[in-house]
Amino acid sequence: MTKPSWPTDLPVLPLRHTMLFPAMILPLFLSDANEKAVLAEAEKTERYVFLGAWCGEDTTCAREEPDQPSWKGALGCVALILKNTPMEDGRVKILVQGIAKARVRRVMARSSGLMVRVEPLVETDMPLEKSLLPLVSKVRQMGLKLFTLRGMHAADAEAVLQGISSAGRLADFLAMNLHLDPHQCCRLMAVVDPSERLRAVAEALAEELQKAEVQQEIASEAETALRRRQRERYLREQLKAIRRELGEWDEDKEEWAYREKIQAAGMSAEAYQVAMRELDRLVLMQSDSAEASLVRTYLDWLIEMPWQRTTEDRLDLGEAARVLDADHHDMETVKERILDFLGACSLKGSVKGSILCLVGPPGVGKTSLGRSIAKAMGRRFVRLSLGGVRDEAEIRGHRRTYLGALPGRIIQGLRHAGTKNPVFMLDEIDKIGTDARGDPAAALLEVLDPEQNKAFSDHYLSVAFDLSQVLFIATANSLEHVPLALADRMEVLTLSGYTDRDKLVIARSYLLPRQMEQHGLQPGDLALSDSTLTALVRRYTRESGVRQLERVLGTLCRKAARHRAEGGCSPFRVFTNRLERLLGPSLKDPSLQQFPGIPGVALALAWTPHGGEVLRIEAAVMPGKGAVVLTGHLGTIMKESAQAALSFIRTRAGRWGLSSDFHEKTDVHIHVPAGAVPKDGPSAGMALCVALVSALLQKPLGQPCAMTGEISLLGDVLPVGGFREKALAAARSGLDLVLIPQGNMDDVAQLPAYVTRTVHFKAATHMDQVLGHLFGPDRGAACV
């Protein structure tokens, strides 16, 4: 090996963040005493030093202070100090030039500092071979692109790269300009073969180039966005200047406009302070900033809320009675209660503490009744449908920290009404939901509680708003799904279904004129006689309300409109015998088919949220081992009623001529048709017992009748609820006889005279009376 021209024992100057390669010049700054001592020691070695990274042969970084074991085998570069310049801050700036790569073979500690003995890393840097020309060309192009992205002039970068003729020198030059960490530099120095080192540098160069391109793209996008915002701001300022010259712009115009609106809004003291604080913030903001837009929206909501705006109540009971009678047929009990409510309001001068809940099947006029109350009182009407609402924020609003935040639907409804005392209808309160986003029903407690809603706090407004003057009216099909705490705050008014006669009057007075108007018909364009309308009600509607009836009338109106559009003569007459041709087949009640005459069949009256219905109950007995099968989508309570009925029959087996062990040799199957519809409730107990007895005796019922009543294990007939709806269902189905519990006879007096004239109600206190009436006196006592 040729002896180098520089000393082999050299002081060590560690490099922490970079590395020097041969023929490269690098400025360094020496700050601590150890580094300055190395500079003094270099004067003894002809200004040569060893620049090494803190990593050994395994390229693991050494500790904070270098020691002998960590420097043994370390790679670095022998450098010549070209110039050293003291600086005002106490540091020394030196300029070093790389001479040759070297490896530490021995570490020598002296009193003056750390000395190492190094040996050069010999590598053969031959002229470029033809096989390396493509790689060299590619590396030069990548280096040129990298330097250009870093802001270097393309001609200067190309001149520098073209001036390097050897592969090793090109690899070292690019490695130093890639800002590699000392570990990577050590790995590159350890590669003696120039071609291999150039390939390694090419990989690092490709990665660095990709990073530079991404940074350039990000910087370009940021610069474009900044220029666009500056241009928009400049154009806005120009627009302001033009409008100012034309006298159309005042810098304080927006601020003073908001101040005047806030002063005129009549806010509460708390809301006024919040509004003025937000306005002061708005003045200090850039007018086109996103936060300024949010503050303006918040101020607009505060200003437009009806803090003091109210409508004067018109509490003339005579006028209210006329409005209710004009808008709704029958409902005498409900109308009487509403007039009582309005009379109390007229005396005390407020509606605080009064929350009505209208409960009834669909189509009986709950929502329209709320409109009539608002009309009678001279108040504005707001309707909020709660069906499917699952987010608490729908009631309380979103906090302003959320993107797209808005007040709750209570506050939105009041803003839409424009007054703080409207009639606010909470429609379908029984269909409100609950999920992970909160419990809207719990949020409604604050809205409906008279002790809390005087200071209702919406999350968006964040200030209290008085709801005590709002008349809340809720509607529901059933109270079953309304939370008890919520139902406790409301006064329930029950709206029952309509009889056929009621439907006839409603169709003639309300539905038909409205449908004719909606379809562009004049009063004389459609002729419907009372007999035809009666047949229409009885054959095409079986619901408690009148929605289906209105749809059927709408179909007839469309037929009449088509007849008139085709040039037909008016009026378009609808006769009873033409109904099937115009509307299709009439509705059939499957519960009444094949009854009576079949053992094991009985009719039960049931209550549903949509009104009363007639259920057909079938029982079959067959030889077996005492199994009891219940089918037809029955609920738990109905199954228990069937078990109670069977146990009661077993206690009376001897009286009815049945063997005492009949239940051990007979299988019983009870089925309620329409199996896709869930059925539950205790009121079918009487019908279940009658059907079982009829099947066991193989004797059909003596006459068509329906029945309702819960039975006990001892055979007592207990009263049931929903009696009016069940009685109306029996009347609609054309039944002449209904067996009921004695405890429900008081409810018979509340039925319309039309129902009591067409349906005969027989009361019983025990099942022996019911069975004696249906199967003969020898089976038990007769009904009352």
- Supply the DSSP symbol for 319: H
Q: Are 384 and 428 in contact (CB under 8 A)?
A: no
253 carries an active-site annotation: no
Task: Decide if 564 contacts 572 (C-beta within 8 A).
Answer: yes
By CB neighbour count within 10 A (0-12 exposed, 13-18 middle, 19+ buried), where does 344 fall? middle
* CA–CA distances in Å: residue 399 to residues 373, 460, 461, 624: 34, 5, 8, 67
Angle (CA) 712 717 718, round 5°? 85
Catalytic, 130? Answer no
Residue of 683, 694, 733, 762 marked catalytic? 683
Beta carbons within 10 angstroms of residue 310's beta carbon: 13
What is the C-alpha separation between 555 and 575, in angstroms, rounded?
15
Is residue 706 within 8 A of residue 738, CB to CB? The reply is yes
Separation CA 754–CA 734 (nearest Å): 12
CB 418 within 8 A of CB 367: no
For 589, the 3-state DSSP assignment is coil
26 three-state secondary structure: strand
Question: Among 226, 279, 217, 222, which Cα is nearest to 252's?
Answer: 279
Q: Which long-range contacts (CB under 8 A, 24 or more apart) does 755-762 make?
A: 755/499, 755/727, 755/728, 755/731, 758/731, 759/727, 759/730, 759/731, 759/735, 760/736, 761/727, 762/737, 762/738
Amino acid letter, residue 206: A
Ranges assigned E (strand) in 111-197: 113-120
H-only helix segments in 457-518: 484-487, 500-506, 512-518
Count CA within 13 A, CB hemisphere, residue 320. 25
Residues 6+ apart with CB under 8 A from 527: 571, 572, 573, 574
| Rounded Cα gap, residues 313 and 99, in angstroms | 101
Q: Please state whether beta strands 760-764 and 572-574 pair in parallel, antiparallel, or not at all (unpaired).
A: unpaired
Give the N- to C-terminal CA distance of the chain in Å, as an integer.
Answer: 133
- Say how far apart CA 357 and CA 487 lie, in whole Å: 8
Whole-angstrom distance, CA of residue 719 vs CA of residue 743: 5
Annotated catalytic residue, options 101, 366, 559, 726: 726
Asked whether 146 and 208 are in contact (CB, 8 A), the reply is yes
The CA-based angle 100-106-112, given to 5 degrees, is 90
Which residues are annotated as catalytic?
683, 726
